[in-house]
Structure 1
Amino acid sequence: MSDDKSAVPVWEQRFRAARVSLPDWAEDAPDRSLYVSNATGTYEVYAWDRATGVHRRVTDRPNGTTDAELSPDGEWIWWFDDSDGDEFGVWRRQPFAGGPDEPAVPGLAASWSAGLALGRDGTVVVGRSTDEDGTTLHLRRPGAAEPEEIYRHEEYGGIGDLSHDSTLLAVDHTEHGDAMHSALRVLRLADGATVAELDEVTGHDEPRGVACLGFAPAEGDSRMLVAHQRRGRWEPMLWDVLTGAETELVLRDEDGRELPGDVTAQWRPGARSLLVEHEFEARSELFSYDLEQGLLTRLATPRGTVGGATARPDGSVEFLWSSAAEPSAVRSTSGAVVLRAPGEVPPGSVPVEDVWVDGPGGRVHALVQRPAGEGPHPTVFEIHGGPTHHDSDSFAAGPAAWLDHGFAVVRVNYRGSTGYGQAWTDALRERVGLIELEDIGAVRAWAVASGLADPARLVLSGGSWGGYLTLLGLGVQPEDWSLGLAAVPVADYLTAYGDEMEALKSLDRTLFGGTPEEVPERWAASSPLTYVERVRVPVYISAGLNDPRCPIRQIENYVERLEQLGRPHEVYRYDAGHGSLVVDERIRQLRLEIDFALRHLDMGENR
């Protein structure tokens, strides 16, 4: 590639610009931090000694690394080692100052990860998930050579947190069979006995989830911060696991109003206050909450999205922030720039507009970005994955690239999305995929009627669950779309269920209300393969050969059927998992998508 920056398209500059994640830090050594960066062209883990200012790359693998954790004393870096992006692997560790990697817990075979907990006294708990064993949790006591199994269940679960004194372990589990609403169990590690249970699913007409947000970071404090859905949305409360006492936290802003939307929290050092993150209508903000005074104080953050925050021992709060127009930055409430990625800041993009459209299940929120010039525009409906996720007012290089090429971009927070209350998130059960498409269809109709979108140049696009909805939409709504771009999609749901990782099988059983054998008509009604004969427009599919979430075999089944039917399509297969951590590969994939769209929509050469 030329050294002349002007020769590199602006959209590509956004991808190539170095980024950093929010740094995590060791509980008892706060000057020792970890973060993830793409500075070398591949997302890898970096160590940062704040006292000396030294940064060091920890991992160096062809397909990248993102999962890592510091031991509380800051002496060891643990990182998850999978094979070519398949998410199936083991934990390794290396000294913070550098040195050879070693198996972190010898004796444990490769698996999908179900969490990791590192105690201040050397206690280690490793969560594993496999098709054969379901979920198993393994304890290695201080000084012990071999781990011992302390938990096993066929349904998916994972590690919540280890108490400050390493005597108690919180387990988030779905033993009741509802993978969308977890329950909590607290185990005493001395003998494996159950100390406490918190289950909002069993015995309730409307299931409500609870989740561990962390034990209090203080000696002798048996309180746990818990997320609950008792009022139809996520909110925090305190739960003393030894006494059973519960303290719900009704958080009100400076005007005395309860915070709408979802609210989560984390302990601040010392366990006397909380750092609160409020998420509502695709944006987020931060507060500090004094537990003794019951006082909620707003922390100054720009309008946009907080992509993570952490409270430091000095009282400051560090947070990763961005908006659709402005790239991400690690900021501090002290006013300082916490961590700056090397090189130039990536070019900005276009702000989002909020649109609300009446849909069959209630008002649907969409985020719209318009290119220069008058409409109607060729328009990309960029559909988010998850499905329990949402699009937000945050910086994304993909949508910005489409804008640069003259497309409007519409992102829909369909039923199933988070951030709009539990009823909205839970609504997609049984009629999986079809409900989301109703909401997308309503926004599509608005986009055409309002003059934003050219009905002859409408692209349905997405990755993962968004890729699934793309293929399903091309068959269910064949007259509505001009083109489809599906990345790592579910294409043949029945085959996907047989091949996917165990955690997703559990979620799928919950969504459909049973297995393919128990409710075959629901699975068939929601599978893109069922409607492939109705597809009339060109289809582009990209797929990871090692993907454990949307496995390759079921995609090949769909592609084979397209070929038999003579439908125009192109397929790109790459040697990685559910997406890529390599910047060049991400650019290659988007370039292929843009080129496909420009050719088939008769819009000239790629820019």
Structure 2
Amino acid sequence: VTSEPLGRVYVDGWTPDGQRLVLNGNDDDDNFIAVFDLRTREMTKLFTSERWLENSDFSEDGLMVAIAVPRNADDPEDHDIAVFELDDPSELRWISTGEGHRDDDPLWSPDSALLAFTAEIGDTTNLVIYDGAALKEIARKEIEADVLSLRYWSPDSDFLDLIVERHGRNSFWRAHLEGSDIRLVDRSDLSEGSIHTAHRDGERVAVTSSAINRPQTGLQLLDLDGNEVAELDLVHLELPLGTPRSVWLQSRDGAQIQAWVVRTGNDDEVQPGLVYVHGGPTMASKDTWRRDMQAMVLSGFTVIAPNFRGSTGFGPEFRKANILDVGGKDLEDCIAAAEWLRKQPGIDRERIGITGGSYGGYMVLQALTTSPDTFAVGAGTVPVADWIQDYELADASFRYYDVYFFGGAPDEKPDLYRERSPITHIQKLKAPLFISAGRNDSRCPFPPIEHFVEKGWELGKEIEFNVQESEGHGAARKTAAIDTELKLLQFLRRRLAVA
């Protein structure tokens, strides 16, 4: 459709005539909301910002856009909701539950009469519903959740479905609007593990779920009252998958950290260990299916996946704990996970590795270069190797990502950027290291990773480098994903002497 790239864009919706797309995206200059006209093949930016524009919604009648915007330069957590007409974006109206609150994830009702969104107020998470025309609050309800994702309104706008995240699991909830009150129905009984998605067709809701030891193999169909009408089991796996257990461990400064431990076999069988570091960092290791983790477990490793400081699911304060401290206390939490694993029965104390992708890949590099005696081996995919060079090469979205976590640009925080960059400490690298990167990566650009590898080789470091020529931030093609995961797994098996 286009002859030139538009930047990294996501589709918010179609206009009712099917001729225009509303996009949320970013390019080298801006984060933006835009309209792409299929007739003229032109994109027009309606709203731009130097800060993230992550969550937005386009009303089904094709008239209104709502978007969460961080407005306060001194407080990146302070988000308000901007509302404007698609055909007249110059007249902005703002929704705010208060200064310092994070108003986020707007969702229009089918008739655009209501606008729901989440509000993080202090340490509480709230569901808020506004009149869509007057933009006045109708109802508000505090929900015992650390992350709240609004999924779908019912066709008559009487209720909406939510996914609630808490302590490493997602569950399905329903919120009924009853005048100025919101009545909540907890349907976490629908699944062991975590709910992934909920889709509606007006009469039924389809819910999919998985767990660490259960792939996303089927779905449940519910009527609009939440009663199960059918369960479809699509896939059966006959594999000795690792059974997860949730543990709490103490980090070096006494902080309590939740982690998932996964292994097969009994404690009499001595296995090497792997610390599995999630990306984000504003994400979490949850009780959801991870094929790469189970491949490691099936290959004879005991895996521990810590939810280090900065992870979601453990409250706002915990989620914000690595702001201005990237690669600091969060890395100490991952090292504490390795130390905890060493003390467990059935673990070879001398064969503990670390692996992860994206921010997890960064943590692999930072761990091996700043705590070189902790891990016997490391394997990182699409990592950050040099925060300063990453900033210089990044698009508008990821420049703000760096500013958000470091408290300023590299010229404002040069010492912190250098100290928390693995390239600064590469001379201390001891353990064998596997790195995989995509040459087209716009999030963790390829040149700093390549420079890290070449500098390591120049210093005589043992680094195995896997380059995916046609991939970006992770592998979009299944063949490339399988190739990367196999090479990573084979590297770990060789280096940790797994038969």
Q: Give the alignment's TM-score, normalised by structure 2.
A: 0.89
Alpha-carbon distance change, 181 to 531 in structure 1, aligned in 2, over 3 angstroms = farther
Counterpart-to-counterpart distance in 2, 1:596 and 1:337? 40
Q: 1:595 corresponds to which residue? A: 490
Identity of aligned residues (%): 24
Report if aligned partners of 2:195, 2:209 keep a CA contact under 8 Å in 1.
yes
1:358-395, Cα deviation, whole Å (9 max, x unpaired): 22363100000122132552001111001111011111
Which among 384, 394, 409 is matched to residue 515 of structure 1? 409
Q: 2:246 corresponds to which residue? A: 354
Q: 1:282 corresponds to which residue? A: 168
Shift of 1:539: 0.6
Q: Is 1:259 paired with 2:147?
A: no
Q: Which amino acid aligns with 1:302?
A: S
Alpha-carbon distance change, 245 to 412 in structure 1, aligned in 2, over 3 angstroms = same
Q: Secondary structure at the match of 1:291?
A: strand
Shift of 1:107: 8.9
Gap runs ≥5 in structure 1: 1-102, 252-257
Shift of 1:521: 0.7
Report if aligned partners of 2:81, 2:106 keep a CA contact under 8 Å in 1.
no
Which among 313, 326, 340 is matched to residue 214 of structure 2? 326
Two-structure CA RMSD over aligned residues (Å) = 2.6
Q: 2:157 corresponds to which residue? A: 271
Q: Which amino acid aligns with 2:23?
A: V
Q: Give the alignment's TM-score, normalised by structure 1.
A: 0.74
Q: 1:243 corresponds to which residue? A: 134
Shift of 1:447: 1.4
Alpha-carbon distance change, 540 to 182 in structure 1, aligned in 2, over 3 angstroms = same
Task: Trace 1:302-381 onto structure 2 (pairs within 5 A).
Answer: 302-314=191-203, 316-328=204-216, 329-333=218-222, 334-337=228-231, 340=234, 345=237, 347=239, 349-359=241-251, 360=253, 362-373=255-266, 374=268, 376-381=270-275
Shift of 1:229: 0.4
Alpha-carbon distance change, 404 to 148 in structure 1, aligned in 2, over 3 angstroms = closer
Report if aligned partners of 1:185, 1:198 keep a CA contact under 8 Å in 2.
yes
Q: Secondary structure at the match of 2:220?
A: strand
Counterpart-to-counterpart distance in 1, 2:55 and 2:316? 23
Counterpart-to-counterpart distance in 1, 2:304 and 2:128? 36
Q: Secondary structure at the match of 1:553?
A: helix
Q: Which amino acid aligns with 1:319?
A: V
Greater mean deviation of Cα atoms: 349-358 or 160-169: 160-169
Q: Secondary structure at the match of 2:186?
A: strand
Q: Is 1:579 paired with 2:474?
A: yes
Alpha-carbon distance change, 603 to 145 in structure 1, aligned in 2, over 3 angstroms = closer
1:299-349, Cα deviation, whole Å (9 max, x unpaired): 3412201111123311x32112111121112322334246847xx657461
How many pairs were matched up? 484
Q: Secondary structure at the match of 2:184?
A: strand
Counterpart-to-counterpart distance in 1, 2:5 and 2:378? 40
Report if aligned partners of 1:235, 1:264 keep a CA contact under 8 Å in 2.
no
Q: Is 1:120 paired with 2:48?
A: no
Counterpart-to-counterpart distance in 1, 2:77 and 2:243? 33
Counterpart-to-counterpart distance in 2, 1:582 and 1:139? 28
Report if aligned partners of 1:136, 1:152 keep a CA contact under 8 Å in 2.
yes
Which among 74, 79, 94 is matched to residue 197 of structure 1? 94
Q: Is 1:542 paired with 2:430?
A: no
Q: 2:103 corresponds to which residue? A: 210
Q: 2:225 corresponds to which residue? A: none
Shift of 1:603: 3.1
Shift of 1:400: 1.0
Report if aligned partners of 1:186, 1:197 keep a CA contact under 8 Å in 2.
yes
Counterpart-to-counterpart distance in 2, 1:452 and 1:248? 53
Which among 164, 177, 188 is matched to residue 291 of structure 1? 177
Gap runs ≥5 in structure 2: 223-227
Report if aligned partners of 1:385, 1:463 keep a CA contact under 8 Å in 2.
yes
Report if aligned partners of 1:377, 1:408 keep a CA contact under 8 Å in 2.
yes
Q: 1:152 corresponds to which residue? A: 48
Q: Which amino acid aligns with 2:192?
A: R
Shift of 1:482: 0.4
Shift of 1:519: 0.6
Task: Trace 1:3-14 onto structure 2 (pairs within 5 A).
Answer: none
Q: 2:460 corresponds to which residue? A: 566
Alpha-carbon distance change, 393 to 532 in structure 1, aligned in 2, over 3 angstroms = same
Shift of 1:274: 1.4
Q: 1:445 corresponds to which residue? A: 339
Task: Trace 1:22-61 onto structure 2 (pairs within 5 A).
Answer: none
Report if aligned partners of 1:261, 1:420 keep a CA contact under 8 Å in 2.
yes
Report if aligned partners of 1:180, 1:507 keep a CA contact under 8 Å in 2.
no
Q: Which amino acid aligns with 1:312?
A: D
